[in-house]
Amino acid sequence: MSDTRETLVNLAEDAMCTRGFGGFSYADIARDAGISKASIHHHFPSKQDLGLAVLVRYGERLVEQLALIGKSSRSGGQALAAIIDLYRAKAGSGGMLCLCAALSADAHAIDARARDALRRINNLVAAAIEEVLIAGRRDRSISVGGDPRSEAESILAMLQGAQLMTRVTGEPATFDAATAVLAARIYRT
């Protein structure tokens, strides 16, 4: 990826995580990058193309992070705690959301290509969480009562929802309170 293209994707990702897809324009990105809007159109003919490029790169990085968590964790419980921490770090004090939560909230504004990519990424994340739950059930470090896939999808919804709630309050404790029931399922890490 060229330096300019990389800069544009970085700026667009920051904008989408803080303001959503509808909360930024090419004029904003051009100003922040110090280039013309025409230069952005050279790399990304439409805002939808830019959004898709951001989402694809974000998904690749997120899946890599989750794989690293899975490989470096001593137990399923430790991996689940690390996943909670990953989502909490992104929520911070409510100024940002993970890109998937931000785009889910703006699903009406993104095109079918981006919605399909978003579904694929969420499915990959849910699959990674499912693996963690299976490992946690096996090593007895996580309470898993039902179908791990269904529970993984619920956990992903809980993590993304906790980020949204933290955005409203501006208090990191909101994320912790919203995910306390999830954290309580971890027996030992």
Token digits of residue 94: 């409510």
Rounded Cα distance between 149 and 50, Å, is 32
pLDDT score recorded for residue 96: 87
Is residue 189 pLDDT above 70, yes or no?
no
Q: pLDDT per residue over 72-99, tens digit each?
A: 999 999 999 999 999 999 888 778 899 9
Please give the model's pTM, rounded to 2 decimal places.
0.93
Per-residue confidence band for 5, with pLDDT thresholds at 50, 70 and 90: very high
Tell me the domain boundaries of the chain: 54-183
For residue 112, give Cα distances in angstroms to 26, 42, 65, 109, 119: 20, 22, 26, 10, 10
For 54-183, CATH gives 1.10.357.10
Q: pLDDT per residue over 121-174, tens digit each?
A: 999 999 999 999 999 999 999 999 899 999 999 999 999 999 999 999 999 999
Per-residue confidence band for 63, with pLDDT thresholds at 50, 70 and 90: very high
pLDDT score recorded for residue 1: 63
